[in-house]
Structure 1
Amino acid sequence: MRLNPDCVRDILMYCEDKCTTTSGVEFDPGTTLTMDGRTYNWEELSYHLRQCDLSGYFYKASQDMYGTYFIEDLSPAAHEFLANIRSNDNWSKVKSTASKVGSLSLSTLSSIASAVVAAAIKASLGLP
């Protein structure tokens, strides 16, 4: 399955919204996720949950023998990535740049997101 950057972003945003200091998030087999009009079926959702976990975006994530994913919280890396891609304008720039360079890996998306924010900071400060 190919990585869908929008699915990753939506999962992270959903977890950020739902996780608290006392409870995490569960994704049961058969679950779908709908965010901003985009719906992800269980196969796509579970694949991207695993990719987020393998990339270090979850804090204390696990999957039980029935396939239920439990995420206690997001990692600092996930919070940083989300901070950089939260605005739709930044996210569009990140996806456009990733498409141009031909890589949609999570590490590439994160690097591009950091560069987009750095460029915005320079522009805001009037720096070259």
Structure 2
Amino acid sequence: MEKLNRESGRMPHRFKYRGDDMKLEMDLLRDLLLYIEEKATRVHSDLEDIQIDGWPGEEVAYHVVQAEADGLIKATITEIPGDDDPALLFIEYSVHRLTMRGHDFLGNIKEPSNWEAVKDGTKKVGAITVDAAVGIAQAYIKAKIAAYTGLPL
């Protein structure tokens, strides 16, 4: 039996996807973190059916799963295998908040020019992963701070 969301009083939305059909979209990941920062206004929010312009619900759900697995957000996620096809998953999620890692990463990439520099850096090194983006964002911000203050970091 499905549980009602305590904030909305609705049943959770179910999204289906094949994990091998999805790829990590760094712009969507950033948009998701920005959305959560704005909308998760309680210590334990319940954000479901997150809609981000230009992205289908299945891709948003996939990125919720990946962001939670990478420690960027806290969320409750239920994965239900398809009856006829075990490669097909149904996802139910409720996003609660950003983690400290999520806040740190978002703080470094919130400014669009910083984000463009980080994306450019990941492309140049050929590493389009969350860890690479986090590392490049940290290095980029440290370099900007050092340049601004004249202090070595």
What TM-score comes out, normalization by structure 2 length?
0.72
| Aligned Cα root-mean-square deviation (Å) | 1.8
CA distance in 1, matches of 2:125, 2:65: 25
1:63 matches 2:87: no
CA distance in 1, matches of 2:41, 2:103: 14
1:73 matches 2:73: no
Shift of 1:68: 2.9
**Mapping of residues 1-128 of structure 1, within 5 Å:** 1-21=22-42, 24-28=45-49, 32-34=51-53, 39-59=54-74, 61-64=75-78, 67-127=91-151
Opposite residue 43 of structure 1, the aligned amino acid is E
CA distance in 2, matches of 1:17, 1:87: 15
**Structure 1 segments unaligned to the other structure (5+ residues):** none
The runs of 4+ residues in structure 1 deviating greater than 2 Å are 25-28, 63-68
CA distance in 2, matches of 1:78, 1:55: 9
Opposite residue 89 of structure 1, the aligned amino acid is S
**Structure 2 segments unaligned to the other structure (5+ residues):** 1-21, 81-89
Please say which structure displays the higher CA radius of gyration.
Answer: 2
Hey, which of these two has a bigger chunk of helix by percent? 1
What TM-score comes out, normalization by structure 1 length?
0.86
CA distance in 1, matches of 2:48, 2:128: 24
Tell me what 2:6 maps to: none
Identity of aligned residues (%): 34
Shift of 1:69: 1.3
CA distance in 1, matches of 2:29, 2:43: 24
Equivalent pairs counted in the alignment come to 121
Shift of 1:58: 1.3
